[in-house]
Amino acid sequence: MRKTIEKTINKGLKTAKKSLNTGKDVLTYPLQYPKKLTNLFMPTKQHTTPLKRSMSGYETENFILKSDGSLDHSGKIFKLAEKKGLAVKKEAAKSMVEVICMPHKRLSSTSKDLINNLLQLTELTEKNNGHIYPFSTYPGINKPVIQKNEWYKTQEKIFGYDKYMTAGLCCGFHQHYALPRGMFDPKTKFINYKLKSKVKKTLIDSYNLLNAVDPIFTTLLQSSPYDNCKYLAKDSRMLLYRGGKKLTYMKGKYAHHQLLGGLSPYKQTLQDLISTIKRRKTKWDSLLKKQGLDPKKHSKCGSELDFTWNPVKINAHGTLEYRGPDMNLLSVIFGMSTMMKFALREIQQNFLMVVPMDIEMKEAFTVENNMVFIPPHTTVRNELQVASAYEGFKNKDLKIYINRFYNFVKGNVLDRYRPLLKPIKQMIDNETSISDKIVAKTKRAGYKNKITQSYAKELSLFYSKQFIKDLEQCRDTLDKMGG
């Protein structure tokens, strides 16, 4: 492919010269100049030894339940966990808790740390007559009690009370993957644009790939069919959080501010990405000023990277953060994170190019030479994203798309990590997500689009027990993997 492109460039130059009637060679650029640009655009691996492995990390958000299965809005469990020194952080609502872990080069080490932290939290919660609910929306009545601080007051003014309150309705899962080496400046806490290196291209390719696979990951992790006792969608969190015209849901938190919270289009260059990041900061400042607030006093952090809540973002900690999917059982999360880890590893270590093209679903993630092909961003955002929210595995194109990505990734996953893909493979084979299982369970109980609060409590307690069993099984799987 590289030789073909070089021949085409050289042939084009010669043809251009001949087409001029001046009798002189007016094109005096050296022929090696296009080759130099081609090498930057189509980088290849030049190392005989593996590049430095990237760090990975997780953030999980969970609901806290009382002993009867209703939400605990007291904030008591968080205070106890914090006092005990557990790896927890406050979330928007007092009925939520965020559990973090230490980032590590080995995905298995990061996973073990997360399991250990979650097991400690579940033990503490049960000792205090509570439970951890593992999915993204609480199926029963949820009237969030939002934390009292200046940051949340600012959000209420900007988004309006109703949209601001959706922050307490849904939990998510975030995965971090370190940016390519040299692409982050820890002093400025911003992207290092001055770096003259081909890794710039790998950052854009990584960013575009994560946006392209968002409908895949949201389908595999969907766990939020019910909100306040009513069926909303297979992925209700996507509607409540992202919202917007494409999802035909204008009640979502970012429904009128897609630049800040919607699924982004692909970027062609690093400058395009930086321009969008700066536009988000400018947008946020204008929203503050509209409410009579001073941007310097009411901005949460100092980096321009902090003003984005999109499914894919560059984080001020120097990571590529994927924050699009529902929270789920750890076995499902680890399967998805393994797919993400090894897909990005292939791009950043072997310089696999991500190329958007008008292709059919059956051609998605085809690899030729050092290129992998993805559909246009309009297909991903306008069609596949919507199908993920409302239809899931029932959508034919989305099923094909998921299978194509799974087959692309599994060939790059190291043998010792393959057991983590088993839950994903079962889900794909059965064409059934956690959301599908929850809906099927409620139908067997005699419910359709509405459930009672008493049944919501019963449902929540059932899956809280499943969560603990799954944690223990994940721990055993990782122990058998070793390392």
Q: How far is CA 384 from CA 130, 182, 344, 428, in A?
A: 38, 34, 21, 16
320-360: per-residue pLDDT in tens? 999 999 999 999 999 999 999 999 999 998 889 999 999 99
| pLDDT value for 39 | 65
What angle is formed at CA 64 by the lines to CA 60 and CA 67, rounded to 5 degrees? 145
Above pLDDT 90, what percent of the chain? 75
Segment 403-434, tens digit of pLDDT: 999 999 999 999 999 999 999 999 999 999 99
How far CA 219 is from CA of 137, 158, 378, in Å, comes to 15, 30, 18
pLDDT in tens, 386-404: 999 999 999 999 999 999 9
The dihedral sign for the CA sequence 437, 441, 444, 450: negative
Q: Does domain 56-481 have CATH number 3.30.590.20?
A: yes
Helix, strand, coil abundance in the chain, percent, nearest 5: 50, 15, 35
Q: Where are the domains of the chain?
A: 2-39, 56-481
**CA 102, CA 158: separation in Å to the nearest integer?**
33
